[in-house]
Amino acid sequence: MPEFVAELTKLFSDTTAVTLVQGAADRDSTQLIFSNLSATINEVETVVLTIISLMVIIIIMLISVMLIGDSKKLAAILKSLGYSDRDNALSFLAIYIPVIIIGLAIAVPLSIGILVAFQAAIFSGANIMILAGASWSYFLIATGAVLGVLLIAGFSGY
């Protein structure tokens, strides 16, 4: 194709016909624009998610350390009131396990909804149809990461 355009350029020099023939390469420029747009969106998404993830980890660490300190005080008070260690452990499990389950029940649909909304906003603007999908492996990795942060905060609090 470029050889053909060069031949026409030699034949017609700088007339409007050359401009029309050179416009035939618009498909390549459109493809280049979409590939640059995709790369830019991926980079921005990665940076934003990294910043948000770091902020969430720091907030979780701070709140966990504060909760552990308060829990230690509460356990000491309950121990001084005569509760056994088993009763203390059961009372803490009765509080924290339902909170974790309810939190996961709210967070999973909410995060899938945010994923769908984000992809709809980005791809509807570029007129691209891509279906949103959430992999369970990503969910398990994220849950494991949060559990790891909580364990680190727990060990640093004691």
The values of phi and psi at residue 54, to 5°, are -65, -40
Show the tokens assigned to 126.
């570029």
pLDDT in tens, 5-51: 677 666 666 555 545 555 556 667 777 788 888 888 888 888 988 89
The predicted structure's pLDDT at residue 55: 92
Cα-Cα-Cα-Cα torsion 72, 78, 80, 84, nearest 10 degrees, comes to -100
Say if CB 129 and CB 123 are below 8 A apart: yes
Is residue 76 situated within a structural domain?
yes
Distance separating the N- and C-terminal Cα atoms of the chain: 71
Q: How many domains does the chain have?
A: 1
Neighbouring residues of 120: CB distance < 8 A, sequence distance ≥ 6: 132
Closest CA to 69 of 158, 136, 7: 158
- Domain containing 149 equals 46-157
Is residue 93 situated within a structural domain?
yes
pLDDT in tens, 53-110: 889 888 988 888 888 888 889 888 988 988 888 888 888 878 888 888 898 899 888 9
Place 133 in a pLDDT band, splitting at 50, 70 and 90: low
Closest CA to 71 of 86, 56, 100, 92: 92
Is residue 79 situated within a structural domain?
yes
